[in-house]
Structure 1
Amino acid sequence: MAKLGFGGGCHWCTEGVFQALRGVAQVDQGFVQAGAPADTWAEGVIVTFDPSVIGLATLSEVHLRTHSATRARSPRGKYRSAIYIFEDSQRHEAELVIARFAIESGKAVHTLVVPFRSFRASEERYQNYYRNDPNRPFCRRYIDPKLDFIRQHFSEVALPDART
């Protein structure tokens, strides 16, 4: 198993996105901290995955395509667009995915690749936000469209039902 962290917007959405993928064993939702300039706590998730089923490149591409990676944010803000690496060897591949996405989109991508430093879980009542009640208005409005996108564009790694 391997780990990566992702931050991009609301961690409820990010958690739901990664829970919808084959090969993802666990998604821990909360707040992530990295080194400067990303040394403040920001919403994010830690994804534990099986690289023989789903790779870093696919996870990173799903991430870039399911949040506003091209919207500039302060690296010190609560909603930092980032890929948090757990090993130095992950940096190059993550940066290649970002560069390819920037070329395809024709826009600057504001996603940082930074070393993971620390994690603090969200309150228990927010864990598994989508799975616990996918019919909440927030889930229907913001998470369901992302899951539909994954099923359409990443069908080879999409779970048929994100609530399982």
Structure 2
Amino acid sequence: MSELRTATLGGGCFWCIDAAFRRVKGVQKVTSGYSGGHIEHPTYHQICTEDTGHAEVVELIYDERKVDYPTLLKMFFALHDPTTLNRQGNDIGTQYRSVIFYHGDQQKHQAELVIERLQEHLDDAIVTELLPAKEFYPAENYHQDYFSTNPRQPYCNLLIAPKIAKFEKEFDAYLV
């Protein structure tokens, strides 16, 4: 019997986060989407206006017996810079903010501990928001598993591919 849990994480463009977590043992499902805002069923074009309050996020359904939440968070922090506010590289705006939407007090506590430990090794302050989970809205179909369906697209080739290569080296033991 599996112990399926949900994690909701935002760290810049969701294409990169999505691509990485699809490789992790125990992650059963990865869905790119939007959360944290005040508009129901937002579209990508609405998100880009920065008027919705939503962030680009991924929702993970994972088997806790195969990969635990603190490990997922360590992977998440390796995929983006949690010290830059509303920006990851050339992606600028509140929709690209670093955010963890926790599902319950245990996830909140575990996230606080991971952030505290990570902060000890960084000069700049971590600006990752830690918020209770809100409604999650799946992104449009063309955003799902974008990297594997568009590997030659310039953004994927130049920005995502190197992050995935680094991720695969660092977390090899956790990958399928």
Q: TM-score, normalised by structure 1?
A: 0.87
The residue that corresponds to 1:65 in the other structure is 78
What CA deviation, in whole Å up to 9, does each residue of 1:33-85 have, x standing for no partner? Answer: 279xxx921111101111111111111111111112111239x9211211111
1:22 correspondence with 2:25: yes
Moved >6 Å (runs of 4+): none
Q: CA deviation at 1:136?
A: 2.0
Q: Which whole-Å CA distance do the structure 2 matches of 1:55 and 1:79 have between them? A: 25
Q: CA deviation at 1:158?
A: 2.2
Contact 1:42–1:77 (Cα < 8 Å) also in 2: yes
Give the AA of the match of 1:65: A
Q: Which whole-Å CA distance do the structure 2 matches of 1:65 and 1:106 have between them? A: 16
Q: Which whole-Å CA distance do the structure 2 matches of 1:15 and 1:92 have between them? A: 24
Q: CA deviation at 1:6?
A: 0.5
1:151 correspondence with 2:151: no
SS at match of 2:16: helix
SS at match of 1:70: coil
Query: What is the correspondence of 1:111-126 to structure 2 with a 5 Å cutoff?
Result: 111-126=128-143
SS at match of 1:43: strand
What CA deviation, in whole Å up to 9, does each residue of 1:70-128 have, x standing for no partner? Answer: 11239x92112111111122111111111111111232111111111111111112211
Give the AA of the match of 1:64: F
Contact 2:21–2:30 (Cα < 8 Å) also in 1: yes
Q: Which whole-Å CA distance do the structure 1 matches of 2:170 and 2:122 have between them? A: 16
The residue that corresponds to 2:15 in the other structure is 12
The residue that corresponds to 1:162 in the other structure is none
Q: CA deviation at 1:2?
A: 0.4
SS at match of 1:63: helix
Q: Which whole-Å CA distance do the structure 2 matches of 1:73 and 1:134 have between them? A: 26
Listed as ranges, the gaps of 5+ residues in structure 2 are: 39-51, 88-92
From 59, 80, 89, give the equivalent of 1:46.
59
Q: TM-score, normalised by structure 2?
A: 0.81
The residue that corresponds to 2:48 in the other structure is none
